[in-house]
Structure 1
Amino acid sequence: MTQQERLTIATSEAPGAIGPYSQAVQIGNVLITSGQLGMNAAGEFPKTVEEQTERSLLNVKAILESAGFGMENIIKTTVFLQDMNDFQKVNEVYATFFAEPYPARSAVQVAKLPKGGLVEIEVIAVK
């Protein structure tokens, strides 16, 4: 197996990394994003979990598009929730971003998200 070039993906259309990590990394035809909080590029959070879910997925979309991928290329998502009671609200917004065949998905409740976020979403995409 030959070693493929590893590309760091970054866009100003999504919040910059708040630690020592990349917005996304691409190797060959695979792109993996870091978790995207539901804040805008200026670091501001909307108030509701629905708005934060939409913003998180818009951030994911911007990162994908900056690397020449689209939402249809996503094969796996992981959704981190501050409160699992928000699962249905998140699902309603999430469903507006995807069409069948849906990507595989995990959803977990965590004790706390960075910067007090209510939701964070990471994805794996393949072209």
Structure 2
Amino acid sequence: MTNEKIIRKNPSNMPAPVGNYTHITRIPRNAELFVTSGQVGVDVNGQFPDTLNEQVTNTFNNIKTVLQSEGLHAEHIIKVNVWATEKIDWDYLYAEWDQLFQYDYPAMTIAYITELGLPDIKIEIEIWAAKP
């Protein structure tokens, strides 16, 4: 392994990000790569809450749990893919987002789609992480 760090930046010759993310993330050579399956809003009892915001909270709890299982932290996250089936309450999502990242934002892609893997799922978030 190397002592290099993950570097996040926004090139000065392009528009600033339109949300809480970074345009480019550089992973050092020989970093270990981790890719999660999409984490969803199911609670510890296997139940899906009715509202998107409740599912957002559960999804972030599940992300934290899966990261901790591998000794990973927010600074290791390099890419986030978000899929939602209904309009996201950005103030709510970014409150959870900022608790996790504390302004050290990864690259991010968001898409609205008609459905996810099960009818009760309203949001799914996939995490890519690297550990130098």
TM-score scaled by length of structure 1: 0.70
Structure 2 residues without counterparts, runs of 5 or longer: 1-30
Aligned to 1:123: 127
1:87 and 1:108, CA in 2 relative to 1: closer, same or farther beyond 3 A? farther
Between the two structures, name the one with larger relative contact order (CA 8 Å, sep ≥ 6): 2
Q: Which of the pair has more CA radius of gyration?
A: 2
RMSD of equivalent CA atoms: 1.6
1:34 and 2:31 aligned: no
Q: Distance in 2 between matches of 1:51 and 1:102?
A: 23
- How many positions carry a matched residue from both structures? 99
Q: Which one of 73, 77, 80 corresponds to residue 80 of structure 2? A: 77
Q: Sequence identity, in percent?
A: 31
| SS of match in other structure, 1:114 | coil
State how far apart, in whole Å, the 1-side matches of 2:75 and 2:58 are.
Answer: 18
Whether the 8 Å CA contact 1:79–1:108 is kept in 2: the answer is: yes
User: Aligned equivalents of 1:100 and 1:112: distance in 2?
Assistant: 30
- Deviation by residue 1:89-110 (Cα, 9 ceiling, x = unmatched): 4334323321222011001011
Q: Which amino acid aligns with 1:121?
A: I
Decide which of 75, 88, 99 is 1:86's aligned counterpart: 88
User: What displacement does 1:47 show?
Assistant: 2.3
State TM-score, norm by structure 2: 0.67
Compare the two structures and name the one with the higher helix fraction.
1
- In the TM superposition, residue 87 of structure 1 has moved relative to its aligned partner by 4.8
- Residue identity in the other structure for 2:68: E
